[in-house]
Chains A and B, each alone.
Chain A
Amino acid sequence: MGRQSRSGSIAGRRLALIAALAIVGSACGGGSDKGGRAAEGAVRGGGFSLSIGEPEHLLPAATTDNNGQQVLSALFTGLVRYDPSTSEPRNAMAESMTSPDQQTWTIKIKPGWTFHNGEPVTAGSYVDAWNFAAYAPNGNGNASYFSKVEGYEDVQRSPPRAREMRGLAVVDETTFTVGLREPFSQFPLTLGFQAFYPMPKSGLADPKGFEQQPVGNGPYLMDGPWRHDEAITLKRFPAYKGLAASADAVRLRLYTNDETRLRDLQAGTLDIATSLPENELPAIKAEFGHRFVERDSSGFNYLGLPVYQPAFAKKELRQALSMAIDRPAIIKAIFNGSKQAAGSVVSPLVPGSRADACSACHFDPVKARALLAQAGGWSGPLQLWFAGGSRNDEHMEAIANQLRQNLGITDISFQTPEFAELLSSVKAHKVTGPFRLNWLMDYPSPQAYLEPLFTSGSSGNRPGYSNPRVDQLVADGNRAPSLEAGIKAYQAAEDIILDDMPVIPLWFGKTYAAHSKRVDHVVLDPLSLIRIEDVVVAG
């Protein structure tokens, strides 16, 4: 496992804090403790503010952005949620999720839960929400998360052949079954993602109106409608059946500018700031000390290689390019150490990831030149593609310099279209050289990287890479009898990918938050979200 020491220390502090809070909680009598929260912390009341950006959507089926995700994580409780330190899935609303063959899943939910409007959360709330999300004419950005469910292709046809996926069936009030197209051992792990949240009937009837003040089943409910570009206010849901949230009220302030959040935090008018400006990180770290929180993010930054181009067809050449890049030097000089050099294609926060799986990701200019010679050398111009205007210039410049210096490739130029144009060019196989992209996982499984990015014909497979052995091993992992049993096959697939090197792994991102003295227990989860319900207001 490649987890960093820093997250270990967070976990350590968390434990100490939990112990302290448990004592305080019991001393206060714990009268307001609804769900036996003593094990996790106590209900301490109070209110705090947190900075996010304006969400694009507040509809679970349509929310693809981090800001919307952060809001929904407080308004909804899904079937599972991820342990903030180990990333492992823990049952939340799910009572059990079982399958004899990893293909037909029986999901039992906990009884007695309600939405904020009093409507009971039933098996139907899940099935209806999922069918709504997958039905193509609804235009939901998260539709593809149901692509493994049987009948998905019928609701995605144009015109659609069905309104509902035949794989989903309600058994009784608290039980439903999910039939998948093929075995998928990681299925329970995927269910913490917002696309799988339940929806109340009112929301499905009027999704547009719903978004202005979503009604969920989570620890917090909206205190008034969404005030666009200004604030979203939450208050504790008194009838919540899970662990009650610690603070009474939360004010999510919506910012457009990273620097501005920091200034508000520094002035004491904001309690928690996320998305801190990268160039100020060392100063922020020094200023906030233990009130600065750092965690690996799932963000995988890579240079994709157009393997369909004859110039990039040889894997020795691809390895040579990789070994000519001194990742730690770039991270230190350009990112202020705010990245982690990649030695794999799976983020270190994913169970089953390995910090050092990639032998060709080490900086070794001598070997790089030997590999380049073996591949027949490089002639002509080399174009590096990346999205312009998004702070990529500096490190791409550094990469270009290292390629010049270490491989003697002199004629290097840049192509910097806007992100949307870059993506369109990459998809149309029109790029002529290495292209810089990144990938965020949706659930902490190696499969969330390997299958979408590297299996033949997959939607995120930008280099156009195809290796039947990788396809087979990923399928083996999907078919494995348990979550854990799949990991061996996934690792074997990753080994082949790293040797073939259709992408050059560069680094993994980190996420940061800083907070005021008023709050404590500020934890970033594996999806880089603040655990809003765990934040404790101290004074």
Chain B
Amino acid sequence: MLQVVPVFFGATFLIFALVYAVPGDPIDALAGARPISPAVRAELRARYHLDDPLFVRYGKYLSGLAHGDFGQSFRGEDVATIMRRRFPVTVRLGLLAFAFEAVLGIAAGALAGLRRRSLADSAVLVSTTVVVAIPVFVLGYAAQLLLGVKLHWFPVAGQEEGLRSYLLPAMVLGSLSLCYVARLTRASLGEVMRADYIRTARAKGFSERRVVGVHALRNSLIPVVTFLGVDLGSLLAGAVITEGIFNLPGVGQAVFGAVKTQEYPVVVGIVTALVLVFIAANLAVDVLYAVLDPRIRYD
């Protein structure tokens, strides 16, 4: 758990320095082509500490943070409010995508792995290859046009229909990882099925269901779980494109917009929270190893 501290300071400072290094006056970006009066510009620059050197700015940010103040966006909105509003959207989307890729991915992978060279195996191999080759935004727009606009199976965009609105975006978001999960499971299971202890289990006269379910699948899931753990973090961070296409107001869109307008409090706040999620996910993976493989122990 102690690794959280250096990661937190490292991440916040790095993001801070990166946003600071972006050239140009963010107040100009805010005002667009319209001229802004010099006194108002000075007022806004002072309000958002834009004239302070990097370390002073970072110090002010940290001291605010110590008092529970995440800073303000350039529109004067509290970053804490923005995060409270946007994180649930991304978490809902991310978890749904995660469930989609984990359940379907492992199922498809197991099916293919157990029935090598069967029709099902070929179907999984071909379909995953195709999906991996398609960029997410193409997949997103195509799914939206076909399943939303033409067939009316899913809402086109927005979140007005509650969880139903999240189904299609979650499938799009999870589709790429689903392919990796399926292929990983297939390869890993294929290897495990040839292992000695599977032969032993069979020799003991266990039912095939028990051999596969308890002995083979559990062991073959270790690389898959590692991948899923890392992927949970990247699902949250990588939702920018999907959120944009389906008009879901999550953190991805917020970070994207904030980087463009150099709103460092927004960027730093959200990305730091994402880093913490990433650390937590990796921690969960470590714990899961022990559950899956009794040989792994943490003392």
A116 within 8 A of B: no
- Are A417 and B249 touching (Cβ within 8 A)? no
**B residues within 8 A CB of A56?**
30, 75
Interchain CB contact (< 8 A) of B30 among A141, A230, A437, A452: A141
Known interface pairs A140-B40, A267-B152. Does A420 touch B249 (Cβ–Cβ under 8 Å)? Answer: no
Task: From the candidates A137, A140, A266, A417, name the one contacting B24 in the complex (CB within 8 A).
Answer: A417
Partner of A424, one of B28, B39, B149: B28
Q: How far is the CB of B105 from chain A (nearest CB, A)?
A: 28
Q: Is there a chain A Cβ closer than 8 Å to B280's Cβ?
A: no
B134 interface hit (Cβ, 8 Å) = no
* Residues of A422-437 contacting chain B, CB below 8 A: 422-424, 437
A440 to B23, CA, bound (A): 25
B238 within 8 Å of A by Cβ? Answer: no
Question: B residues within 8 A CB of A136?
Answer: 37, 39-40, 42-43
Which one of A147, A255, A256, A424 contacts B23 once the chains associate, using CB atoms below 8 Å?
A: A424
Which listed residue, B23, B75, B157, B262, touches A263 by the CB 8 Å rule? B157
List A contacts of B247 (CB < 8 A).
255-257, 260
Q: A250-268 toward B: CB 8 Å interface, digit per residue (1/0)?
A: 0001111101100110110
B31 lies within 8 A of A141 (CB): yes
A418 at the interface (CB under 8 A from B): yes
Q: Among the listed stretches B92-100, B140-148, B188-196, B270-278, which one makes contact with chain A, having 4 or more residues with CB under 8 Å of it?
A: B140-148
Whether B85 and A263, one on each chain, are in contact in the complex, defined by CB atoms closer than 8 angstroms, is no
Is B6 at the interface (CB under 8 A from chain A)? no
- Most chain A beta-carbon contacts within 10 A, residue among B141, B144, B157: B157
Q: Is A158 an interface residue (CB 8 A)?
A: yes
Knowing A229-B85, A253-B158, A269-B156, say if A417 contacts B43 (CB, 8 Å): no
By a CB distance below 8 angstroms, the chain B residues around A65 are 32
Known: A260-B157, A424-B25; 7 extra A-B contacts, CB below 8 A, are A56-B30, A253-B158, A254-B249, A256-B244, A260-B156, A419-B28, A420-B23
Chain B residues within an 8 Å CB radius of A157: 39
Q: Beyond A259-B141, A420-B25, A420-B28, is A156–B244 a contact (Cβ under 8 Å)?
A: no
Interface size class of B (residues with CB under 8 A): 35 or more
- Write out, one digit per residue, whether chain A residues 265-279 have a CB within 8 A of any chain B CB (1) or not (0): 011010000000000
Residue of A nearest to B241 (CB): A257
Pick from A141, A230, A257, A267: contact of B159, CB below 8 A: A230
| Proximity bits, A223-238, B CB within 8 Å = 1, else 0 | 0000011100000000
A515 to B39, CA, bound (A): 43
Q: Is the CB of B35 within 8 A of A230?
A: no
Contacts of A418 in B (CB 8 A): 22-24, 29, 260
Kindly state the separation between the CA atoms of A141 and B34 in the bound complex, as whole angstroms: 9
Q: Is the CB of B245 within 8 A of A137?
A: no
CB <8 Å contact, A263 and B145: yes
Contact of A64 among B32, B47, B148, B253 (CB under 8 A): B32
Q: How many residues of A sit at the interface, in one of the four size bands?
A: 35 or more
Contact of B149 among A228, A266, A420 (CB under 8 A): A266
A-to-B contact residues, CB < 8 Å: 56-57, 64-65, 136-141, 143-144, 147, 156-158, 160, 208, 228-230, 253-257, 259-260, 263-264, 266-267, 269, 417-424, 437-440, 442, 452, 459-460
Closest A residue, CB atoms, query B161: A269
Give Cα distance in the complex from A439 to B145, angstroms: 35
Residues of the A chain whose Cβ atoms lie less than 8 Å from the Cβ of B145: 263
Which B191-231 residues have C-beta < 8 A from chain A?
Answer: none
Inter-subunit contact B40/A144 (CB<8 Å): yes
Chain A residues with CB under 8 A of B70: none
Listed from nearest, the 9 A-B pairs whose CB atoms lie closest are A420-B24, A229-B249, A421-B24, A459-B35, A136-B39, A420-B29, A144-B37, A156-B39, A139-B43
Tell me the chain B residues, 244-265 only, with Cβ under 8 Å from chain A. 244-247, 249, 253, 257, 260, 262
A255 partner residues in chain B, CB cutoff 8 A: 157, 247
Shortest distance between the CB of B72 and any CB in chain A (Å)? 10
Q: Which residues of B contact A459 (CB under 8 A)?
A: 35
Q: Which residues of A contact B44 (CB under 8 A)?
A: 139
Is the CB–CB distance between A147 and B39 below 8 Å?
A: no
A–B Cβ pairs within 8 angstroms, 15 of them: A64-B31, A64-B34, A136-B37, A136-B39, A139-B40, A144-B35, A156-B39, A230-B249, A256-B249, A264-B156, A267-B148, A267-B156, A419-B28, A423-B28, A438-B33
Query: In the assembled complex, which residues on chain B have CB atoms less than 8 Å from the CB atom of A259?
Result: 141, 245
Instruction: Answer yes or no: B132 CB below 8 A from chain A CBs.
Output: no
Contact with A along B43-62 (1 / 0, CB 8 A): 11001000000000000000
Residues of B within 8 A of A460 (CB): 33, 35
Report the separation of the CA atoms of residues A253 and B165 in the bound assembly, to the nearest whole angstrom.
15
Contact B244 A141 (CB under 8 A): no
A421 touching B23 by the CB < 8 A rule? yes
Residues of A within 8 A of B246 (CB): 260
What are the residues of chain A within 8 A of B25 when measuring CB–CB? 420, 423-424
CA distance A389 to B37 in the complex (A): 27
Complex alpha-carbon distance, A113 and B242, angstroms: 46
